[in-house]
Chains A and B, each alone.
Chain A
Amino acid sequence: MTLAELEFQLKKTGIFLQTGSFITHLQTSIPGVAEGIGLLYADYPLLEQTDFTDFHVSLAYPRTLRRWFKPQVLFLFDGKPPFKPLPLDQAFPMFEWGLNWCVSSHANHCLIIHAAVVEKGGYAAILPAPPGSGKSTLCAALVNRGWRLLSDELALVRVSDGLIIPLPRPVSLKNASIDVIRHYEPEATLSRRISDTMKGTVAHMKVPADSIARAAETARPAWVIFPKYQAGAATRLEALPRARAFMRVADNAFNYSLLGVRGFETMAGLIDASLCYDFTYSVLDEAIETFAELKPPVSLM
């Protein structure tokens, strides 16, 4: 599909995007969204038409006079805006943030943790972290060095069996990390930079095709690692007492409290299955080496 065709379809009937196990219907006439979609979602299954859609979303102009002197964009979930409008040139990042909101505020069959997840050999490393910890930078580097991307923002731990469901979507890079990744992996596809967003300057990195192709393959949790980027710091992986890890992961979960005792059981299962660490780094190559040496936990079963 050419960019013009994509733009036309987005405007007319919208497109049906399959990301992980969710189907999203996106409709918009805002220019610039097609550019981001065309660049970063080219490898995703694009459904012609589907009977059932999880999230009906659109990006639209707010109906106010403001449109004429300072254009804005609204994210609409089935016609209603969960957030305030943003400046128009942030339409594509807003789509990404909006889709995160759709998943994190609905998918209660999973314990949803604000974390990046990568996988190798069937074992998943969960990287929960507050913004600014370098989680996404590390995640982007890992997926360019042989790890499969399960998710950059939302770790979905299925309540019924404790396995992690992939949700591979573009990796969100902020400020300095955009250039860090550009230099680290010149082959990586990055979207146009958007500056002055609430998160600073942002760009999104395209997900390796293999991670998208394997989006139905669940993974077993093996490591919970709290990354911390610290300029000039030596690479350091320190064991973290599991009970402390439990509290810190819960603090980064969207629906731990909502799931009640099921949240507690799922979290306990995750912590039981995982080796937990604090990880400080400043050099990406060294960080990748540390990850390459991770040994999965010895199962007592």
Chain B
Amino acid sequence: MTPPLVLQAFRQPGALTALSLADWDLLLRQARRSNLLARLYALLDERGLLEQVPQKPRQHLEWAHAIADRHLQAVQREVGLIRKAVAKAGVPVILLKGAAYAMAKLPPAQGRIFSDIDIMVPKESINAVEAALMLHGWAATHHDSYDQRYYRTWMHELPPMRHVKRSTVIDVHHAILPETASIRPDPGKLRAAACLLEGYDDLRVFAPVDLVLHSATHLFHDGELENGLRDLVDIDGLLRHFGRLPTFWPELVGRAQELELTRPLFYALRYAAQMLHTPIPPETMEAAGAGRPGWPVMTLMDGLFGRALLPDHPSCSGSLTGTARWMLYVRANWLRMPPLLLARHLFHKAFISPKAE
């Protein structure tokens, strides 16, 4: 069976220029389904290949890029406002996931659309951060006292907070996994290794190895599979990007052991290499084998992930079908909201004149 076009695209972007129009049609459908259209645009743009894409498919890529571009702008602005709000609390703030990729200009930033900004702060500062955010217009979204207690007692984060004017959402974490999880990577270690964001003296992102481990944990431990392929492409992008640093590969597996994340790292390396042909040094692959599960589990996982990580498109045989994914798709915000309402909602109007009309 030939692998789906979207996998081939990320393995060998250079070969895309040889695609026929009919291939482009199929590739765009697979990429759209995996939320990878804007990423595909960036992949071609980086290599100066956009001009060689036929006009029609190029237009589709540009449509997706326009959305991603605007999103990136909105994220930068939101992070700026969050930073201002918590400045007085004097708490070290670490940006996580999408916000981290966007602000550190890492490969996964390209075309990742997300609705929440995630930050991590020390557990003992979480109340101070919450108070600072509330002072600047963020309010709790879960008013139910049960929900509040659930989050505060069992989760690794505050209940999501929404800004009353902008409706943007922030998740304030103190760890990357819930207190109840079977593995508990030490947040202190993650914080200690975090790096300052270029151009800032008060915003940090995880160290390169930790960024990869967090991403792997999210996909392979939390089981957040609705954007499976997109998340794997993120991991592939991070590995290719940081792989150029001399210390990256030698540190990776040791760090995973230190943080008890060898299993998700093993899966991430295995499937990135298998599906996207991510270049991984053989000695790293071998060392990461420490996180390999026993063979029955391995066989099961290969089957499950092998399907779940493919685009959920009829053209990719073996892709997961059924109500679960279907429901997730319908739930997505951009489909539920009629475009006109969305435009209204985003379009903040004001008329200022010293004279009342």
Interface of chain A, helix or strand or loop or mixed?
Answer: loop
A53 within 8 A of B: yes
Give the contacting residue for B349; candidates A53, A251, A253, A254; CB below 8 A: A251
A90 within 8 A of B: no
Interface of chain B, helix or strand or loop or mixed?
Answer: helix
Residue of B32, B340, B343, B347 contacting most chain A CB atoms (<10 Å): B343
How near does chain A come to B346, taking the closest CB pair, in angstroms?
Answer: 4
A237 within 8 A of B: no
Nearest residue (CB) in B for A112 is B339
A255 B25 Cβ-Cβ under 8 A: no
A73-81, A173-181, A289-297: which lies at the B interface? A73-81
Which B residues lie within 8 Å of A107 (CB)?
63
Scan B275-315; emit 1 where CB is below 8 A from any A CB, else 0. 00000000000000000000000000000000000000110
A257 B347 Cβ-Cβ under 8 A: yes
A106 B70 Cβ-Cβ under 8 A: no
Give the contacting residue for B62; candidates A78, A108, A250, A255; CB below 8 A: A108
B52-60, B130-138, B263-271: which lies at the A interface? B52-60
Which A residues lie within 8 Å of B330 (CB)?
80-81
A78 B25 Cβ-Cβ under 8 A: no
A107 to B63, CA, bound (A): 6
- A54-B56, A78-B32, A105-B339 given as contacts; is B347 within 8 A of A259 (CB)? no
A257 B56 Cβ-Cβ under 8 A: no
A114 within 8 A of B: yes
A109 B63 Cβ-Cβ under 8 A: yes
Which B residues lie within 8 Å of A81 (CB)?
330
Give the contacting residue for B73; candidates A105, A255, A260; CB below 8 A: A260
How near does chain A come to B309, taking the closest CB pair, in angstroms?
Answer: 19
Which B residues lie within 8 Å of A259 (CB)?
66, 70
A11 within 8 A of B: no
B66 A101 Cβ-Cβ under 8 A: no
A109 B339 Cβ-Cβ under 8 A: no
A80 to B69, CA, bound (A): 25
B356 within 8 A of A: no
Which A residues lie within 8 Å of B352 (CB)?
none
B344 within 8 A of A: yes
Which B residues lie within 8 Å of A83 (CB)?
335
B63 A80 Cβ-Cβ under 8 A: no
A256 within 8 A of B: yes
Contact residues of A between 260 and 277, Cβ < 8 Å to B: 260
Which B residues lie within 8 Å of A255 (CB)?
339, 343
B1 within 8 A of A: no
A5 within 8 A of B: no
Instruction: Please give 13 more A-B residue pairs, beta carbons under 8 A apart, in addition to A80-B326, A109-B62.
Output: A51-B25, A52-B24, A52-B57, A80-B329, A105-B339, A106-B60, A108-B67, A109-B63, A250-B347, A251-B343, A251-B349, A256-B343, A257-B343
A-B contact pairs, 15 of them (CB 8 A): A52-B21, A52-B57, A53-B25, A54-B56, A78-B313, A79-B314, A107-B63, A108-B62, A108-B63, A109-B59, A114-B340, A252-B340, A257-B70, A258-B346, A259-B70
